[in-house]
Structure 1
Amino acid sequence: MLFGKKKDKKPSNIAMMDSKVNEDYVEEKVTKIKDEDVEIVMDNEEAISKKLSNAGPLRKYTELGKIMFSMLKDVKKGSYTNVPWFTIATIVVALLYVFNPFDLVPDFIPGIGYIDDLAVLSMGMGWIETDLHKYLDWRLSGGEEA
């Protein structure tokens, strides 16, 4: 799980911003996502959405967050099934990472606190962009499975 575990306080945390290290970190977390993690995200939708809309650097991801939550809800209801688990897990990792204030670069550090959140959201978006577009097309077509 992404929070609840204390991270090592090594001086190399800032060095984790290297894109390859970050990608490996996120990919490792994605492979460990469970159904319970999806529930944690859904239970904290309001807090995550509030953080996305109130944190200046993350504000541009507010609409993306709404789409991700909408997709998770439709998958959970069983109305949208055309999505690989990797996509759901990526959404969950990205949103849990944003929700966690004590990540690689803690959010309370002025100026750089949201750099890692932006990196994780951007990386995740790159991995699942096609699936998000398919989901939006599905929604626009009336929300019926093909």
Structure 2
Amino acid sequence: MALFSEKNAQTQLDAEAKKVKRADLEALLERQRAIEDKVKGSGKLSRFSADIKLMFSMIRDYWKGNYRDVPWKSIAAIAGALLYVLNPLDFIPDLIIGLGFLDDVGVVALCLRLVESDLHKYAAWKEHTEESSQSA
């Protein structure tokens, strides 16, 4: 039996996403640097660095009202996954060397799979918006 399975990841992600309220997004955005620093220094989790930056970008644009073409369920899942990463005492405590980030990796990977199409649509929108503002 795996130490941290996809079922465990789904359970943890669902639990975190259910707790997320719109007001939590601002607090999450304020903690972006702490989460990105943790990701950079975590080994296996660091491969998700670019994805996590894109997640934060989408949450920021959602929070500001610039981008709303995404279901709340996806925003809540992303916020839940990022809050989970921030928590050092989650399913497998981050203090356990060699194993502590396995659950974080599982939760982020599952979240990315669940919101992949929403992130792709957002990235395309972001690119188009930036191109439009540069040519104006």
Alignment TM-score, normalising by the size of structure 2:
0.88
Q: Distance in 1 between matches of 2:89 and 2:8?
A: 18
Query: Percent identical across equivalent pairs?
Result: 37
For residues 28-77 of structure 1, give each alpha carbon's deviation from its aligned partner in whole angstroms, at most 9, with x where no partner exists. Answer: 33133112321221110110111111211111111111101111111111
8 Å CA contact 1:16–1:104 kept in 2: the answer is: no
Q: Which moved more, 1:122-131 or 1:26-35?
A: 26-35
In structure 2, give the amino acid aligned to 1:101: P
The runs of at least 4 consecutive aligned structure 1 residues that moved more than 3 Å come to: none
8 Å CA contact 2:16–2:81 kept in 1: the answer is: no
* Alignment partner, residue 32 of structure 1: 19
Give yes or no for the alignment of 1:70 onto 2:66.
no
**Mapping of residues 56-135 of structure 1, within 5 Å:** 56-135=43-122
Q: Closer, same or farther in 2 for the Cα pair 1:32/1:60, shift >3 Å?
A: same
Q: Determine helix, strand or coil for the equivalent of 1:107.
A: coil
Q: Distance in 1 between matches of 2:32 and 2:112?
A: 18
8 Å CA contact 1:105–1:112 kept in 2: the answer is: yes
Q: Distance in 2 between matches of 1:25 and 1:37?
A: 18
> Which 5+ residue runs of structure 1 have no aligned equivalent?
1-13
> Which 5+ residue runs of structure 2 have no aligned equivalent?
none
In structure 2, give the amino acid aligned to 1:60: R
Cα offset, 1:21, TM superposition:
3.5
Higher relative contact order (CA 8 A, sep 6+): 2
Alignment TM-score, normalising by the size of structure 1:
0.82
Provide the aligned C-alpha RMSD in A.
1.9
Q: Closer, same or farther in 2 for the Cα pair 1:130/1:62, shift >3 Å?
A: same
* Alignment partner, residue 3 of structure 1: none
